[in-house]
Chain A
């Protein structure tokens, strides 16, 4: 009994930094954030309770809201599969024991450790329609490149292109680690049956790493819904609001207009949207995710 009390004392003492942090910067803000979303609040005066007025205004009166939803969902649903497939291809390529493979892994990985601000600045310059490296190269091959970030039809694809280039190598490492854990005898079994690399990839690699792929589908979607820095630096939401993403709008409402109640309502709706998308993914995952220990999670 004495040992147990002593353990409890030390346990809570050692955990106390997190407990304090969680109460002050986790639990309290969640509750207050919901309260703010029901208020008119400009930080200077005390919050005025207005019921669900912010939500009503968002859903029924705010045209920007639907613009940001469209932009953000477009970004999320186009980017997520591309990043995952791209980094999976990279991972498969660098999983082969070829001379210099470590060097190539390093090269692909480096953009992942660079600040999003630097990458945004770099890509603004790469995508410069007249003098950027990309259009200059395209011109060399006789192709007239698009206006990229200046063209409302190309602005979202431009940012997606950039994020695949920046993130691919980091995700590659994750998938590479998963691929290296696949038991070798399964590949041998496919070889005996006369299967080639595609059969190996489709019937062994993908099923075995599907839990990791699934986890990253979820994470990548959540990250995509939160896109901010790229748009803030590169386009400020333009041209014609084509890159006005959800979080950029939220940031503008909160820290430019100081409309904290409205911004809190936006935050809660985003939370709900993320939750719904994650829930759907869990439902769909039963069809394709395979757990080698036979346990469904």
Chain B
């Protein structure tokens, strides 16, 4: 028993040491962001005084509130679009028996393997022809069209666990498929909806390549894009960059502390198939 105890102590110390490697960089961003300018380029870990100048400078340097608004809009619409459409499509692939269902589901799975580079250029050309460049449409409208293979897969898995007899009973009572989807399946599927919503929020909020390709107009930029531009300067202003990073990751971290369960579910689901 004492050996077991000693092992546990060892593991605890090991975990603490590793944790330091993960926590220190985050602490350092926050500390850099409140350092007076003169102390940024020094080897002192702690600032002599805490001040918020860098945050004020950030607001003067880039249209932060505009970017925030754009990011919130794009992310919000994308979350609604993906949750709605992946659940509708997931319903088709689990709760209704139709000819061609299984074949098409293989196609859904196969699209996961497709590298985005192959489709990226023609899709860019499509949006250009539509006149959608420099609008939020390329980043929002496609979200209503299926919601991505992984999300459809996740919804389908969850819907399969709903007893078939429940749906059939509703059908015998004369419920339409829409009503069953909306009134019976969706309320039961809240955990799946929450997982998809959280994962979508994270991906779209953090996305860089999409806005980079479609939003070249500065006023249309997102936070990720704005941060990327700030970092691309010849002489990066580290304290301001760190302040921007803190503000941009804050929503994700706050969300994480409230909905940890769904983040973890989303990440583990992505790794275990069948």
Which residues from chain B contact A133 at a C-beta distance below 8 Å?
24-25, 28, 45
A100 vs chain B, min Cβ distance (A): 7
Q: Name the one of A17, A94, A108, A170 contacting B88, with C-beta atoms under 8 angstroms.
A: A17
Q: Name the one of B43, B111, B264 contacting A131, with C-beta atoms under 8 angstroms.
A: B43
| A-facing residues in B8-33 (Cβ within 8 Å) | 8, 11-12, 14-16, 18-19, 21-26, 28-29, 32
A215→B273 contact, CB < 8 A:
yes
Q: Of B52-60, B96-104, B189-197, which binds chain A?
A: B96-104
In the complex, A67 has a CB within 8 A of chain B: no
Cα–Cα, bound, A90→B121 (Å) = 39
A106→B121 contact, CB < 8 A:
no
Cα–Cα, bound, A250→B116 (Å) = 12
A254→B272 contact, CB < 8 A:
no
B228→A117 contact, CB < 8 A:
yes
Cα–Cα, bound, A117→B225 (Å) = 8
In the complex, A289 has a CB within 8 A of chain B: no
Chain A contact residues: helix, strand, loop or mixed: helix
A15→B92 contact, CB < 8 A:
yes
| A-facing residues in B82-105 (Cβ within 8 Å) | 85, 88-89, 91-93, 96-99, 101, 104
Cα–Cα, bound, A29→B93 (Å) = 24
In the complex, A203 has a CB within 8 A of chain B: no
Given contacts A14-B89, A26-B114, A122-B245, contact A131 B267 (CB under 8 A): no
In the complex, A50 has a CB within 8 A of chain B: no
Chain B contact residues: helix, strand, loop or mixed: helix
Q: Name the one of A8, A28, A177 contacting B122, with C-beta atoms under 8 angstroms.
A: A28
Q: Name the one of A22, A177, A247 contacting B272, with C-beta atoms under 8 angstroms.
A: A177
Given contacts A10-B98, A25-B123, contact A173 B268 (CB under 8 A): yes
Which residues from chain B contact A14 at a C-beta distance below 8 Å?
88-89, 91-92, 96, 177, 181
Which residues from chain A contact B12 at a C-beta distance below 8 Å?
98-100
In the complex, A96 has a CB within 8 A of chain B: yes
Which residues from chain B contact A18 at a C-beta distance below 8 Å?
85, 89, 92, 108, 145-147, 152
In the complex, B128 has a CB within 8 A of chain A: yes
Q: Of A70-78, A150-158, A267-275, which binds chain B?
A: A267-275
Given contacts A28-B122, A104-B15, A229-B208, contact A212 B89 (CB under 8 A): no
Which residues from chain B contact A260 at a C-beta distance below 8 Å?
121, 125
A115→B119 contact, CB < 8 A:
no
Q: Of A30-38, A53-61, A279-287, which binds chain B?
A: A30-38
Which residues from chain B contact A114 at a C-beta distance below 8 Å?
206, 249, 252
B22 vs chain A, min Cβ distance (A): 5
Given contacts A115-B206, A170-B267, contact A120 B231 (CB under 8 A): yes
Cα–Cα, bound, A98→B260 (Å) = 20
A98→B11 contact, CB < 8 A:
yes
In the complex, B80 has a CB within 8 A of chain A: no
Cα–Cα, bound, A133→B14 (Å) = 21
| B-facing residues in A75-111 (Cβ within 8 Å) | 90, 93-94, 96, 98-101, 104, 106-111
In the complex, A118 has a CB within 8 A of chain B: yes
Which residues from chain B contact A113 at a C-beta distance below 8 Å?
202, 252-253, 256, 263
Q: A94-B15, A108-B18 are in contact. List 20 more A-B contacts (CB 8 A).
A: A10-B177, A11-B96, A17-B89, A18-B89, A19-B104, A21-B145, A25-B126, A93-B14, A93-B18, A98-B12, A114-B206, A115-B205, A115-B207, A125-B242, A131-B41, A169-B22, A173-B264, A226-B116, A267-B115, A270-B115
Q: Which 3 A-B pairs have the closest CB atoms?
A: A11-B98, A21-B145, A174-B271
Residues of chain B having any CB pair with chain A under 8 Å: 8, 11-12, 14-16, 18-19, 21-26, 28-29, 32, 40-43, 45, 85, 88-89, 91-93, 96-99, 101, 104, 107-108, 111, 114-126, 128, 142, 144-147, 152, 177, 181, 202, 205-209, 212-213, 224, 227-228, 231-232, 236, 238, 241-242, 245, 248-249, 252-253, 256, 260, 263-264, 267-268, 270-273
